[in-house]
Amino acid sequence: MSEIAKGMEFREAHYPGRAPIDAYGNGGFRFADMSHRGAVQFLPSGIYGWNVEDGQKALSVSSFERVLEEAEGIEVLLIGTGTDLIPIPAALREALREKSIRADSMSTGAAVRTFNVLLGENRAVAAALLPV
């Protein structure tokens, strides 16, 4: 291992604030003068890189642990499923309902637009977005 590699510190991708989404596409998102390639979760505590695979596997209860932990600050969860609509599986819908979170699944583009509007209205909104 090189000296440079030994001194590198790898951290989980996290932006500690709330910000609108400026752009999406090309496999990622732009927000707060930064960009991120891959899936993201926009939560009350900040914006996180979301290490999931595209498709139905991303919509497991375990993939939404952080969302469930922050449920107190979330009224609405928007789930952007890429270009194809993927329904929310019953197990995930029930886990969210138990925490009083209303969730909607839609294309990522629709989720981004809706998230920005609700964030601008200072609503308790969160988003889990798969890239396009």
Q: State how beta strands 28-31 and 76-81 pair.
A: unpaired
The answer to whether residue 123 sits within a structural domain is: yes
Give the range of the structural domain holding residue 103, as residue numbers without chain letter. Answer: 11-130
The answer to whether residue 5 sits within a structural domain is: no
The answer to whether residue 101 sits within a structural domain is: yes
Question: pTM above the 0.85 mark?
Answer: yes
What would the mean pLDDT of 6-22 be, rounded to a whole number?
Answer: 70
- Nearest in space to 130 (alpha carbons), one of 58, 30, 31, 68: 58
Provide the CATH number for the domain around residue 49.
3.40.1230.10
Task: Please report, rounded to a whole number, the percentage of residues in the chain having pLDDT higher than 90.
Answer: 83
The answer to whether residue 4 sits within a structural domain is: no
Total domains in the chain come to: 1
Confidence of residue 107 (pLDDT cuts 50, 70, 90): very high
The answer to whether residue 6 sits within a structural domain is: no
The answer to whether residue 116 sits within a structural domain is: yes
The answer to whether residue 24 sits within a structural domain is: yes
d(CA 81, CA 85): 6
